[in-house]
Amino acid sequence: MDKVESDGFPYQRVALGGFSQGACLTLEYVRRYPKQYGGVFGLSGGLIGPTAGVPHPDAKLEDTPVFLGCSDIDPYIPAERVRDSAKVLETMDARVEMMLYAGMAHTIIEDEVQKVRAIIERMLE
């Protein structure tokens, strides 16, 4: 990621995201390498491992917009994992929006796409 910035793309213009395992890896990456990103998206995913291990108090996401979307009955990602992930990212000063969709399958729905799109559009203004 340092090469991205050295090539002229500030972190505030970079969005990171993923679905399912990709969401888990994205969220874990930003927990370990916090910066002010343009946006972070975790669709049907959560932080990996114990969420009680909150990062160092100086590890801040500096108001990074984060969207977490998941089913309330996802067979792979328990709703509590998503809630715990949101809490950890909030302690890192991220601006988190979390949606647990009733009865949704392990998939991506249009509402999630619209929320991601809105964050990216604000990032590009």
Q: How far apart are the first and last CA of the chain?
A: 22
Catalytic residue (one of 20, 44, 71, 85) = 20
Catalytic residue at 20? yes
Active site includes 74?
A: yes
Helices (H) then strands (E): counts for the chain: 4, 4
Q: Of these residues, 6, 74, 84, 93, which one is catalytic?
A: 74
- Active-site residue identified among 6, 71, 85, 106: 106
Quote the crossing angle between the two packed helices 79-91 and 21-32, to the nearest 10°: 20
Q: Note if 56 is an active site residue.
A: no
Tell me the catalytic residues. Answer: 20, 74, 106
